[in-house]
Structure 1
């Protein structure tokens, strides 16, 4: 994202401009914030690009007057995200089927839609932690835009409420209430996750039972009140509404396995930092499955087949 004029300045001085390097060093942080706020890597990258465009649209004097360029970029990017979240609620009303946040592959293996040699550019990575698991993002998506921004910036990134207030356009006290409301949503909707090794074993057993269409084994791995949600975005046929109940999910997924048995294979993969599965055909990703495992059973399954959302999963 360095412009031609900036490159010329770098060449004239025999190397990178420290000021430009410092500004570009904020990219990873901005992408991380953008993804958590929007649930879409593509949208987060667009937001970061727009924030940088606004920075470079200013004169050199205007830039020098900004005490903390990183804080300025974060404020601008967060405000853009806030506006996008408000408009996204309107767009979701016409979205075909269920909407699920965009799943992310393991950053050390995939960057920008391609297998990364040596881990790729760290500046382009989303840092994986609890705040990017699919279960967490789904709860964030149910919040109001102001709640989501206040919670992510304060509770995840530890921004003071005074700074959050400037971004959200409300008082610090109001932002404190927004974050508190968001925390209650998190506590109500999410159960503590078990160790990732346990989750990996359960997902692996689910994959084996699924491949053999062993309905009894599937039922045993699913919570009796489990929910399976699919997102095809109107591009790929999926269940139009969530499937509720372990027995119902087991039968539906056994039917799916039978339907694709001769053309697809299921591969274990890290999805948003936790064990998941990917359906592939001739090296092409058909869908991505994220799981929430609670007390040794699968509580939620999120299947994303919308081609627009799984582009980062396609092999080069």
Structure 2
């Protein structure tokens, strides 16, 4: 296969491969690095005898994801505070994008990705391929190197072990309005307005990774969340600016200190209230945010 042919084939399947790897790894940067490695290997591989090149690429990505997750498991266990996936900005994915359904048909929300972390590496691969990407058990068996019967059992076990989060339409102007109102109330110190926007049983999860100050444990309850934010408001950078966007399919905010991303917030909305705030502050997880 010539470089041009391999590049065209890889490019055509890139959204699928990115979706698979990002859900497996929860890291935009690791996903991009892994896919670059897959592309280099694929372009140097004799593929004439490979009948299903898409499945072959998925197998390459899956195997590398599993290897990377296993090697990173100890590091994850030693992670300081709450671990959250690297935020994926989904604002600029138009409705007409033929690959859009791969990202948005099934959620890439923080809540969904955190549920996937409960699964083993192989369970996660089988679950994503079946539940999210709608592969048949025969196709999954080819990708993960197990029998279709075994894959069916793995999927059933994974399906029983996680309960998907309540999903509501998030890609609406209402969601953006809630995000903007919330940050406006925070910036002005309007605690009453903040409380009116939060569910009474709302939760806040912050990921500083030990690199910056962040809450080690989740903060539960609207009043505690408001007190927490009021306590750190004076510590925000003086040149703070923000933009409203969609983060992992949910309404969100990017906070900037000067030209650099300072934090990315993803807001999960239920019943027109902010139910969960996922706040990523670890600077190592924000280098891809512009």
**TM-score surpassing 0.5?**
yes
Shift of 1:124: 11
SS of the residue 2:50 aligns to? coil
Checking the alignment, whether the CA contact within 8 Å between 2:141 and 2:147 is kept in structure 1 is yes
SS of the residue 2:103 aligns to? coil
Deviations for 1:70-90, whole angstroms, at most 9, x for unmatched residues?
221111111111222233322
SS of the residue 2:283 aligns to? coil
Shift of 1:290: 0.5
Output the CA distance in 2 between the equivalents of 1:255 and 1:208: 16
Deviations for 1:220-248, whole angstroms, at most 9, x for unmatched residues?
22222222111112221111111112111
Gaps of 5+ in 2: none
How many residue pairs are counted as aligned between the two chains?
286
Please say if 1:32 is aligned against 2:7: no
- Equivalent residue in structure 2 for 1:159, among 135, 140, 150: 135
Residues 181 and 291 (structure 1 numbering): CA distance in 2 closer, same or farther, change over 3 Å? farther
SS of the residue 2:89 aligns to? coil
Scaled by the length of structure 1, the TM-score of the pair is 0.80
Shift of 1:153: 0.5
Q: Which residue pairs with 1:114 in the alignment?
A: none
Residues 271 and 175 (structure 1 numbering): CA distance in 2 closer, same or farther, change over 3 Å? same
Please say if 1:67 is aligned against 2:44: no
Checking the alignment, whether the CA contact within 8 Å between 2:89 and 2:247 is kept in structure 1 is yes
- Equivalent residue in structure 2 for 1:99, among 63, 83, 96: 83
Q: Which residue pairs with 2:9 in the alignment?
A: 22
Residues 189 and 223 (structure 1 numbering): CA distance in 2 closer, same or farther, change over 3 Å? farther
Deviations for 1:32-85, whole angstroms, at most 9, x for unmatched residues?
211122111111122222223332443xxx421112222211111111112222
Q: Which residue pairs with 2:249 in the alignment?
A: 273
Gaps of 5+ in 1: 8-16, 110-118
SS of the residue 1:173 aligns to? helix
Q: How does 1:135-150 map to 2 (within 5 A)?
A: 135-150=111-126
Structure label with greater radius of gyration:
1
Output the CA distance in 2 between the equivalents of 1:205 and 1:182: 38
Q: Which residue pairs with 2:193 in the alignment?
A: 217
SS of the residue 2:201 aligns to? strand
| RMSD (Å), alpha carbons | 2.7
Residues 35 and 126 (structure 1 numbering): CA distance in 2 closer, same or farther, change over 3 Å? farther
